[in-house]
Amino acid sequence: MTNRPANLPTHLQHHIGGKAVDSIGGETFEVIDPVTNEPYATAAAGQQADVDAAVAAATLAFEEGPWPRMKARERARILMRIADVVASRDAELAQYESFDSGLPITQAKGQAQRAAENFRFFADLIVAQRDDAYKVPGQQLNYVNRKPKGVAGLITPWNTPFMLESWKLAPALASGCTVVLKPAEFTPLSASLWAGIFAEAGLPDGVFNLVHGIGEDAGDALVKHPDVPLISFTGESSTGQLIFRNCAEHLKAMSMELGGKSPAVVFADADLDAAIDSTLFGVFSLNGERCTAGSRILVERAVYDEFVERYAERAKRIVVGDPSDPRTEVGALVHPEHYDKVMSYVEIGRGEGRLVAGGGRPEGLDTGNYVAPTVFADVPPTARIFQEEIFGPVVGITPFDSDEEALTLANDTRYGLAAYVWTNDLTRAHTFAQSIEAGMVWLNSHNVRDLRSPFGGVKASGLGHEGGYRSLDFYSDQQAVHITLGDVHTARFGAH
């Protein structure tokens, strides 16, 4: 039985215009925990009318409130206070996140601290930010006037929800936008804490608005709303395509971080111990429910058999169990629907590769959404488990014989989010990395990211980049202002 956090709410409300409210029509949905799959709360289920109310509150705060008009330092002070509150509540946040999503408690704790760091980072960035000016001596001065775009629609996923919400909230608020957040319906619990955190930090009412609900209702209404000029979405690629289509009518700005099927390429000259440690962590941490998971491991033939044997042996020893137990390394998948999807891929994989670890429910865990860390070897590139995003603790290993074959295999999917390359050959590392079709490449490392660097994918993995100044660019309009300093030659139409 999972450990229920103290003060667990039994009903989650929207937060609109500074007030906690239910849906106008009274609609609700049940929220379950992934260990028992039993409902522990109800949540208000947002509809068109609720999204309209949230957008109206955000619009009022943007057009008449102080937030967009504050000096950068004033906004930064509030962002820093938000970070301090989040950091001070890391134990409570981690408990909520672990309980709601099934993440192991030790990994959930890190997410709270990362969320705080996101706010600190963007607080620093807006104070240090400068914009361009261009001079034509004696003739013209041009400068960039940056201003917030308006009401930002933020749609976030159910994997590491609180941290990923902070990833969008921090730059949107730093830029002076007001926001409407629609968190994933599978994991609404930690999102419900933002309103109290923001109020404690002094964020004006109406700047942050939260609407819970099903994507087809609340999310769809937010995407289509004519008074929301930009949408930031993290989720899977087919939903991203639908959002893209629905944004077209109003020509909305879009930032989309979508699915991935990221390769980890291990050459024979790599530090095999480090590569095994990293590729295990890269696909089995966060229960495998991570967009940048290295879920295709490509290994050079000379070390392939050794790699597979050692990797499978380690995977078999990964501790699967109650997310609240500090010893747990892989917890419960987020929801029975997702569990069924992942298990269907495990069954598909039995016919496509050689099962060398896992392949079902771990012994002794008869209820809950538990999947044993599963490893398939000898996976051909035509296999569905090679091509399709599984988003769980399942990995395929494939051999290669040359750099050219490795690159072909690495690029042989519709996705292009991340890639990982393991080699001690400096020239190969750089030339190979630059040839991979991926928005981000890590050399001899798993996913360790500097917040200043761009985050985003290519192909079916995304549209646009966030991170650092690119995030501020997305939430801002950059207006070019031209000033004449001298005589301007103008053709005198109609003067003759």
CATH number at residue 379: 3.40.309.10
Can you give the CATH number for the domain in which 181 is found?
3.40.605.10
Query: How far apart (Å, rounded) are the C-alpha atoms in residues 111 and 89?
Result: 12
Same domain, 295 and 439: yes
Rounded CA-CA distance 283/277 in Å is: 11
DSSP letter, residue 190:
G
Q: Same structural domain for residues 320 and 336? A: yes
Task: Note the residue count of the chain.
Answer: 496
Q: Please tell me the distance from the alpha carbon of residue 73 to that of residue 71, in angstroms, as a whole number.
A: 5
Number of domains composing the chain: 2
Sorted by sequence, the CB contacts under 8 Å of residue 316 that are 6+ apart come out as 357, 358, 373
Helix axes 72-88 and 90-101, enclosed angle (nearest 10): 70
- pLDDT, residue 319, reads 98
Query: What DSSP character marks residue 216?
Result: I
What is the separation of C-alpha 228 from the centre of its chain, rounded to a whole number of angstroms? 21
- Tell me the C-alpha distance between 348 and 194, whole Å: 40
Report how far residue 23's alpha carbon sits from residue 17's, in angstroms, rounded to the nearest whole number: 14
Is 414 part of any domain? yes
Whether 451 maps to a domain, the answer reads no
How far, in whole angstroms, is CA 418 from its chain's centroid? 13
Q: What is the pLDDT of residues 58-102, one digit of tens each?
A: 999 999 999 999 999 999 999 999 999 999 999 999 999 999 999
Q: Which long-range contacts link 139-142 to residues 24+ away (Cβ below 8 Å)?
A: 139/484, 139/485, 139/486, 139/488, 140/482, 140/483, 140/484, 140/485, 140/486, 141/482, 141/483, 141/485, 142/480, 142/481, 142/482, 142/483
Looking at the structure, do residues 417 and 355 belong to the same domain, yes or no? yes
Residue 2's pLDDT is 52
Alpha carbon of residue 147 to chain centroid: 25
Residue 181 lies in a domain: yes
The reply to whether 380 and 272 lie within a common domain is yes
Residues 200 and 291 in one domain: no
Same domain? 230 vs 294: no
Asked whether residue 448 is domain-assigned, the answer is no
In a domain, 153, yes or no: yes
Contact assessment for residue 114 and residue 450, using Cβ atoms and an 8 Å cutoff: no
For 439, the domain range is: 263-443
Yes or no: say if 312 and 375 are a contact pair by the CB < 8 Å rule. Answer: yes
On whether residue 100 sits in a domain, the answer given is: yes
Q: What's the token pair of residue 459?
A: 């192909």
The pLDDT, as a whole number, for residue 214 is 97
What pLDDT is attached to residue 488?
Answer: 84
DSSP for 419-480, written as a single string = EEEE-S-HHHHHHHHHHS--SEEEESSSS---TTS-B--SGGGEES-BSTHHHHHHTEEEEE
Whole-angstrom distance, CA of residue 240 vs CA of residue 417: 14
Give the pLDDT confidence score for residue 1 in this predicted structure.
43
Extract the residue ranges of the chain whose pLDDT is less than 50. 1
Same domain, 428 and 335: yes
> Do residue 219 and residue 153 come from a single domain?
yes
Q: Is 257 a catalytic residue?
A: yes
Which of 165, 257, 289, 300 is flagged as catalytic?
257
φ, ψ (nearest 5 deg) of residue 88: -70, -20
Domain match, 94 and 125 both: yes
The Cα 356–Cα 367 span in angstroms is 24
